[in-house]
A and B are shown apart, each in its own frame.
Chain A
Amino acid sequence: MNYVILGNGIAGVTAAETIRQLDDPGQITLISDETFSPYCRPMISNLLEGAVDLSRLPVRSADFYEKNRITPILGTRAVSLDTDSQRVTTKDGQTHSYDRLLVATGADPRPIDAQGLDLDGVFFMRNIENVQQMINTLADVKHALVLGGGLVGFKAAYSLLRRNIAVTMLIGSGYPLSMQVDETAGQIIQQVLEKNGLTVRTGVFVTAFEGKKRLRTAHLSDGTRFDCDMCVIGKGVFPAHGFVPEKSIDTDAGIMVDDNMQTSVPGIYAAGDVAEHIDIARQQPWVNAIWPEAVAQGRVAGFNMAGYPVAYRGSLSRNVIRIFDTDLMTAGRVSPRDTDEACRFFSASDPARGTYRKLVFKEQILVGFVMINCIEQGGVLTSLIQGRTPVDIAEHNLLDPGFNVSRLMGRLTR
């Protein structure tokens, strides 16, 4: 069997490993744009922060490709896919035929509509190369601008603050992480960042960047100018499936996959940030571009590609962030844009412990939560959402600080 995997992110890497475990003689080719050996993408913000150095980012040993007998083709990306002749063409003009194909091409940062994007000092934050370039310019950066209050913008702002750089964040909605959390939690974490030097401005965006070669000034939508020597654009990502023929392969925001991570074309699979499956909390198709789902999807795709049918149960949006002395964990539907009047909300806060917890139920099923500090039991709540387990105990049991897994098993232990 001849397997071709597009992308050396964690979905592609996990799939390759899984295939190798199950199909020893199979031929595996891995094609990727990024030449760095498989690394932990979420940790690029730790790299920017200076908390870890480059040597800590690889998540597989240097001989990963050799050891797993994978043929790596790095520094190029797929530009077209012919599903009839089962061939992928890459940017360097080569074609590669496959029996089974995995599209794990991830996502690309969403550009903004502004002039001067090519100036030095204007960055996206998606890969190691981006962050290395950022670090190289940090020495003479006094004031940084971060566009977007989502996860990328948030982590970029935090990392720069830790480097003692003044940061101004421009966000479109009323508070940071508005896609992930409710307003109360959003305000709490905004205050934490503000206490540490962040300035937040809402309702303005950048119309143009100005400077000779290096960024010096940003022009804002309210007509004012803003002097800065660095800008990080964190306005989201979009799944990188531009090369996929949409007339044969169903695509929505991402590439649609079934429970076996197979696309609408038999033999072609998708996993990771590029794939769209069912969101467990929302019960509708959704792209959840997060690390643990990329691992899970890569694993399931690998099983199925090697001929072992394994089903994927759906993905769940979730995140955990530690900033200064504050921890935030969130999963599922919490943001007002994800909830409706059919949802039941329960919340509790304890100023003495600095905690805040909010649970979102749909009937007896937990569909989302956010917690600030004391996050150790968050995984128990996450697994309640993932299992769609009806919760038949009073909600305060889940909210109070003594919550632990035994409360859910009370009925079983007579």
Chain B
Amino acid sequence: MKQVIVHPERCVGCMQCMLACAASHSKTGTLISAISESPRPRPRIHVGAGLYEEGFPNRCRHCDPAPCQMACLPGAIYRQTITNTVLINPDICINCASCAMACPYGVIRYHADPLAPAAKTIAVKCDNCIARQHRGQIPACVEVCKTGALTFEEMDAAMKKKTDQVARSICAEAVPADNAPGFSLLNTVKRAEKEINLLR
């Protein structure tokens, strides 16, 4: 089964994944009409700034066992095993924020959602775009990502690719391979700017 894989070193922080995510979790499903919906659709993937302003697409890891699921008071959080997705039942959620206290990645938000009972504030997070997947599409964040920071792959294949990259870089003769030289340059510039500002 394919999963969304995050390659943080390739993220430029453009936040297009956030827009695409919000649009695909809106009532109308397209960005142009989603912006005038109420409640306004919000993203379930969150691009945060790292220490040196480098981008980082932060989304639910669908942990197993999931700490949010174990902490959920009313039992609203459950795992859909066929898609390996941790989901929140908006009808049962009581917005107690116990999951906020449990999530080690801080990916859960609390607001009214177009796909939940009207005007009810609930916990909202990534659902792996299972509705899109059901229609044969890939998750919206991956589809829109221009830099390859988000990919949709078989976990085993992705692991193998990463292992090979590491293996190539640990040969005594090899200079550590830079898998994303353009991004490294960008992040180095950002970091330098940040450090210079700090010294001021």
Q: Which residues of A come within 8 Å of B, CB atoms?
A: 40, 42-43, 46, 51-52, 56, 59-60, 291-292, 295-296, 299, 318-320, 322, 327, 329, 331, 375-380, 382-383, 393, 397, 402, 404-407, 409-410, 413-414
Contact = CB atoms under 8 A, between A and B. Distances in A.
Interface of B: 8-9, 46, 48-52, 54, 56, 58, 67, 70-71, 73-75, 92, 94-106, 108-110, 184, 187
Contacts of A299: 70
Binding site of A, secondary structure by majority: helix, strand, loop or mixed?
A: mixed
Nearest to A402: B49
A320 B106 CA distance: 14
Given A56-B74, A59-B74, A292 B102 contact: yes
Contacts of A51: 94
Contacts of A406: 8, 48-51, 54, 56, 58
A379 B73 contact: no
Contact of A379 (B94, B101, B110, B184): B101
Contact of B56 (A295, A329, A409, A414): A409
Contacts of B187: 414
A320 B96 CA distance: 8
A42 B99 CA distance: 14
Given A405-B58, A414-B9, A375 B97 contact: yes
B151 to A, nearest CB: 16
Given A320-B100, A410-B51, A413-B56, 12 more contacts: A59-B75, A291-B98, A295-B70, A331-B101, A378-B100, A379-B102, A397-B51, A404-B48, A404-B56, A406-B8, A406-B49, A413-B9
A109 B67 CA distance: 28
5 contacts: A42-B96, A320-B96, A379-B103, A382-B102, A404-B46
A376 B110 contact: yes
A380 B105 contact: yes
Nearest to A59: B75
Going nearest first, the 10 A-B pairs with the smallest beta carbon separation are A406-B56, A404-B48, A410-B51, A383-B104, A379-B103, A377-B106, A406-B50, A292-B71, A59-B75, A380-B106
Given A40-B74, A296-B70, A377-B106, A413 B100 contact: no
Contacts of A327: 97
Contacts of B9: 413-414
B83 to A, nearest CB: 22
B110 A410 contact: no
Nearest to A322: B97
B92 A379 contact: no
A59 B78 CA distance: 12
Nearest to B57: A406
B70 A402 contact: no
Contacts of A380: 103-106
A43 B95 CA distance: 12
Contacts of A295: 70-71
Given A56-B74, A410-B54, A413-B56, A402 B106 contact: no
Nearest to A51: B94
Contacts of A409: 8, 50, 56
Given A376-B109, A409-B56, A318 B101 contact: yes
Contacts of A413: 8-9, 50, 54, 56
B196 to A, nearest CB: 17
Most chain A CB neighbours (cut-off 10 Å) among B46, B50, B54, B58: B50
